[in-house]
Chain A
Amino acid sequence: MKKALLVITMMLALAIAVGGCATKGDLEAVEAREKAMAAKADQAAQDAEEAKMAADEAIMKANEAIERAEEAEMRANEREALAAEKERLAEEKAKEADEKFKKSMKK
């Protein structure tokens, strides 16, 4: 009886041991997965780098555009100020002429 019990225990232990060990094929598959994951990570990092560069470039372009717009606005403001100044001068000249005219209308 004891012998039979020992045999059963050993067989059970063997079965457990055999079931717990990975095959060579399993190991290769794991390694391949790891490589693929590493490649994907590299690709993702590269993509991220490229995206960052693209974003930086876009920001740079946007900044340039903003600068251009600001310059244009400044020029427009300057033009407006010049036009306003011109108008003011024209009004002043007209007013001055009117004043002289009024004075000339006295006896």
Chain B
Amino acid sequence: MIVLPPTSHRFSLTVLLLFVLSMPGCANVRGFLNESLPFPMHTADGVERNDFVVAKDVDVIGRLAMIRVEEGDTLPDIARHFSLGLNTVSTANPGVDIWVPEAGERLLLPMSFILPDAPRKGIVINQATMRLFHFKKNAHLLEVSTYPVGIGTEERPTPMGKMYISRKKHLPTWYVPASIAADHRKKGDPLPPSVPPGPDNPLGEHALYLSRITYLIHGTNKPASVGLRATNGCIRLYPEDVVRLFENTPVKTPVKIVNQPYLAGQRDGIVYLEAHTPFEESGTANWKKVYAKLKKIEKASGNALDWKKVKDVVIEASGFPVPVSAIPPGSDMAMVEPLKLWHPSRLHGKPDVPEFQTDAWYVLAATLTDKVDARRLAAIINHQGPPIPARVLSKNGRHRVLAGPFENRRAARDAAKRLKIDLELKGVVFET
């Protein structure tokens, strides 16, 4: 004869049984998540991009991260969201299409940096890595804020050496230098003598004037150019970064501009080497210094470096710190392995593309047979400064790149003119 427990006990047993039965279910769900989503474990906003405390005897800040590309992403958008320059993301991910990366592709985000070999005070800009470091003393702590920058072209390079911030200006006016005015005249795009604050002003909304006359650290109306050699010698920052630098930098702050494509440093007993492709022939002297530093570190620590790895890092020039010494037991491996991040729901600064509208003006920028080419062109147009919205409309194997909508014919014609001058596109203006 079976004796049933009292009702209250039966209820407890039922709950217990349900709990036990649910355990394998939980494991299965976890297993499913691990299989289908093996990748992200951290939110993109939970990772530090700009501000770090610099401990004594530490030369390496930040950490590497990884993210999966989603449909419609571009490398400039991902770079900006994580406060990286386009050069850095593109170099760390060779073979990935800048404008049309494949959805699902993994991207390495090189959010780890070796501090430049310079006194840790004021602003230090390393041209080779296209990164600015702003050192600040906070009580006994040394803090550094770091931002990616755009610098001068080969023809009009950014000057090197020591200078300081001579003045600052919110909403600056851009007085067009003679050389740029001449360039624009040649292109059939004459500029006025000065450009007031607004979307057409290439200085953006904040400018820090350097003691070296005619050179500035400023924002930009072309954020996608951060990480490129595209200025006339000035230093460009993302709009959101220049605001922070502007607010936290007093006049007279020293500025040192260096060009160090090779950087060596230590953190947690691990020796790192960071190599960038040097500009022209600028790398040899710097490499000699870094080689001597590595030898010195090896001798002082008594820990043999992996010289083959050193050679590989220099050849690859991937632009982020790579360990070149044995990892001591007990080291925090988490700092060496890339952090896996969820893709943010929206990438900061990603250009908005309004829905296709009727009763609006558009510019047919191009008709292409290859969809990827069309998407690439639309993305490039979207990232112009000031932005020009663009999209692809596909029909019968033809992919039309449309710029717009514009409020009126004049705005559309202005956009068509910009597309012609900047991207050599012969656009056709039309009304829907």
CB within 8 Å of B: which residues of A?
Answer: 90, 93-94, 97-98, 100-107
Contact = CB atoms under 8 A, between A and B. Distances in A.
B202 A101 contact: no
B376 interface: yes
Contact of A103 (B232, B372, B377, B422): B422
Contacts of A100: 380, 422-424
Interface in B181-202: 183, 202
B228 interface: yes
Given A105-B225, A105-B385, A106-B153, A97 B230 contact: no
A97 B372 CA distance: 12
Given A93-B373, A106-B230, A101 B383 contact: yes
Contacts of B230: 102, 105-107
Interface in B134-170: 150, 153
Contacts of A107: 180, 202, 230-232
A16 to B, nearest CB: 101
Contacts of A102: 228, 230
A105 B222 contact: yes
A94 B376 contact: yes
List the 4 closest A-B pairs by CB distance, nearest first. Answer: A105-B225, A104-B422, A105-B230, A107-B202
B422 A97 contact: no
B360 interface: no
A97 B383 CA distance: 13
B59 to A, nearest CB: 32
B224 interface: yes
B384 interface: yes
B47 interface: no
A72 B384 CA distance: 48
Contact of A104 (B98, B372, B423): B423
B362 interface: no
B99 interface: yes
B97 interface: yes
Residue of A93, A94, A102, A105 with highest tally of chain B CB at under 10 A:
A105
Interface string B352-388: 0000000000000000001011001100100111000
A94 B100 CA distance: 10
With most chain B CB atoms within 10 A of its CB, the pick from A93, A94, A97, A106 is A106
Nearest to B221: A107
B224 A105 contact: yes
A53 to B, nearest CB: 56
A100 B230 CA distance: 12
Contacts of A104: 380, 384, 422-423
A90 B100 CA distance: 12
Interface in B212-256: 222, 224-225, 228, 230-232
B380 A97 contact: yes
Given A103-B422, A106-B230, A107-B232, A97 B222 contact: no
Contacts of A101: 224, 380, 383, 423
Contact of A97 (B99, B231, B384): B99
Most chain A beta-carbon neighbours within 10 Å: one of B230, B373, B383? B230
A98 B232 CA distance: 19
A83 B377 CA distance: 23
A19 B422 CA distance: 124
Contacts of B380: 97, 100-101, 104
Nearest to A89: B370
Interface in B74-113: 97-99
A105 B226 CA distance: 9
Contacts of B153: 106
25 contacts: A90-B370, A94-B99, A97-B99, A97-B373, A97-B376, A97-B377, A97-B380, A100-B380, A100-B422, A100-B423, A101-B224, A101-B380, A102-B228, A102-B230, A103-B422, A104-B422, A104-B423, A105-B222, A105-B225, A105-B385, A106-B153, A106-B183, A106-B230, A106-B231, A107-B232
A104 B184 CA distance: 12
Looking at B153, B183, B376, B424, which has the most chain A CB atoms within 10 Å of its CB?
B376
A10 B147 CA distance: 138
A1 B183 CA distance: 154
Contacts of B150: 105
Given A105-B222, A106-B230, A107-B232, 17 more contacts: A94-B97, A94-B99, A94-B376, A97-B99, A97-B376, A97-B380, A98-B98, A100-B380, A101-B224, A101-B423, A104-B384, A105-B150, A105-B228, A105-B230, A106-B183, A107-B202, A107-B231
